[in-house]
Structure 1
Amino acid sequence: MKINIRPAFINTISFDLDDTLYDNRGYIQAAEQALLNFLALQFPRAKAWHSRDWLNLKQRLVKAKPLLGHDTTAARLATLEQGLLIAGYDKSQATAGAQQGLALFLDKRSDFTVPSEVLLQLKSLQSQYRLVGITNGNVDANRIGLGEVFEFVLHPGEGMRMKPYPDLFYKACRQLHISHKQLLHVGDSYTADVQGARRAGCQAAWLNPAVGREAITPQQGQLAHIEFSNIDQLQQLSGLG
């Protein structure tokens, strides 16, 4: 663990979820494939669409309505509905199909449990700090086992912008009734997590590399207070601030 800036008093530790507490790649890939299989079976006119086609459509919709870019669930629902309309289905079919597809995706997307050793580490930290989650994603924290260790988990959407915008950090501090500098945020993204926390006036701990990834060189931006290279080093947070 590397200390760049000596941490101040820490009341609460917030955690990013995907690729910080677990390797998210396989779960997302499985959910995406399940959704494509569903669409091919139930909506054969869209069978020719591949992942890249759906992504391109999503990007066009987000460009037209930028707030969709801050709500992964709303963006996926809008993309599914618009794609089915383009494929030739009527409004009622497209709306129902989009809702069914989204429900399937969300179910598969959260069909796992956080590794037991990570949960044990969080429970140990829980004896010293309040713990919450701040994520740009839409995983169901309760389903994956985090409901027992986090007071709450915040997601963007409904006017709340994604990290690195400070919105989620501001909301967390309001709900916790703490000053911004009393929150230490732990995450794998130098841009979203470190810069987001620092812009909000919070402290930042950077996990580099992310779970299952290679280490990266930091881009231009504010330093993380703490850098660590393995999720097992979480225990070293105790007593730092």
Structure 2
Amino acid sequence: MLDLTLIKAITLDLDDTLWPIWPAIERAEKALDDWLSQHAPMTAALFANPAARHEIREHVIRSRPEFKHNLSAIRREAIRLALYRSRENPLLAEDAFAVFYAERNRVTLFEDALLALEFLSSRFPLVALSNGNADIQRIGISNYFRTSISAQQFGVGKPDPRIFHAAAGSVEVAPAHVLHVGDDAALDVLGALNCGMQTVWVNRTEHLWTHAGEPHETVTSLTELCDLFPR
């Protein structure tokens, strides 16, 4: 059971916890494809082949292991490699990535997200903790957070305990006094449990829990999360 008296800070996952990620990624992919069609049509044709797109991404991951947790760098380098293979200007990669990244951050928050952020941030310091490359300032929610820690910034991602410890340290709170909230059973819940944090699993789609360790609480919305706290 969740012990509310221990909580001094909250770490929050972003993608699929505060907004659905795949609609934003699909829009970003479309914006990138449209831009490449205008400025680098041979590269656009190459990326239109899913197998070729996958092979390029895997090549980047294998050849640049330092990019393992840096989704932005992987995407940018994949675009650069595709431009090079298509005999078009690799310098276009920066502008192409900028188009993708702008759309990737044009997310649609879940209906319960803003009210939950207002409620929680008025009571606890919040830390955004993500394996993704979302920019909370671009999205317009940075004022709710004390700080933001991402895998690409930190160098390792969830469920590695180091990133959870860094999140707790960023607000000068011991892990035992942190509540981590997220949608991913393994990355969020088990990762946080393994470093001594309390956890709330945000299970919006009625997934079954299949792991040995269990979250302290399970909710189907951020409204239910807020209802756990006295008003």
Q: Give the TM-score normalised by the residue count of structure 2.
A: 0.89
Is 1:58 the equivalent of 2:57?
yes
Which of 28, 32, 39 is matched with 1:42 structurally?
A: 39
- Give the 5 Å matches for 1:123-134: 123-134=118-129
Q: Structure 2 CA distance, aligned partners of 1:173 and 1:150? A: 13
Question: Counterpart of 2:80?
Answer: 81
Matched residues in 2 for 1:222 and 1:24: separation? 26
| C-alpha separation in 2, matches of 1:100 and 1:150 | 29
Q: Take 1:172 and 1:51, find their aligned partners in 2: how far apart are those partners? A: 39
**Deviation string for 1:62-103 (max 9, x for gaps)?**
1333342311111111111111111123xxx21x21111111
Q: Is the 8 A contact 1:22 1:115 kept in 2?
A: yes
Q: Which residue is equivalent to 2:169?
A: 174
Larger CA deviation: 22-31 vs 230-239:
230-239
SS state at 2:10 partner: strand
Unaligned runs of 5+ in 1: none
The Cα shift of 1:176 comes to 1.0
Shift in Å, 1:136: 1.2
Counterparts of 2:163 and 2:215, CA distance in 1 = 18
Cα deviations across residues 157-180 of structure 1 (Å, max 9, x unaligned)? 255212112232121122111111
Higher relative contact order (CA 8 A, sep 6+): 1
Partner residue, 2:15: 18
Cα distance, 1:145 vs. partner? 2.5
**Contact 2:14 2:129 (C-alpha < 8 Å) held by counterparts:** yes
Look up the equivalent residue of 1:127 and give its one-letter code: S
Identity of aligned residues (%): 27
Task: Classify the secondary structure of the residue corresponding to 1:143.
Answer: helix
Structure-1-length-normalised TM-score: 0.86
Question: What is the Cα deviation at residue 195 of structure 1?
Answer: 1.8
**By how many angstroms is 1:117 displaced?**
4.3
Matched, 1:137 2:132: yes
User: Quick check: 2:6–2:177 contact (8 Å CA) kept in 1?
Assistant: yes
Q: What RMSD, in angstroms, separates the aligned Cα atoms of the two structures?
A: 2.2
Q: The residue matched to 1:47 in structure 2 has which SS?
A: helix
Instruction: Identify the match of residue 224 of structure 1 among 207, 215, 219.
Output: 215
SS at structure 1 position matched to 2:139: coil
Q: Residues 197, 118 of structure 1: CA spacing in aligned structure 2 closer, same or farther, 3 A cutoff?
A: same
Shift of 1:202: 1.9
Tell me the number of residue pairs that the alignment of Structure 1 and Structure 2 aligns.
229
Question: Structure 1 residue runs of 4+, over 4 Å off?
Answer: 5-8
Contact 1:7 1:225 in 2 (8 A): no
Q: Which runs of 5+ in 2 are unaligned?
A: none
**Match of residue 120, structure 1, among 112, 115, 122:** 115
Partner SS, residue 184 of structure 1: strand
Per residue, is there more helix in 1 or in 2? 2
Cα–Cα, structure 1 residues 224 and 116, in superposed 2: closer, same or farther, change >3 Å?
closer
What letter corresponds to residue 20 of structure 1 in structure 2?
Answer: T
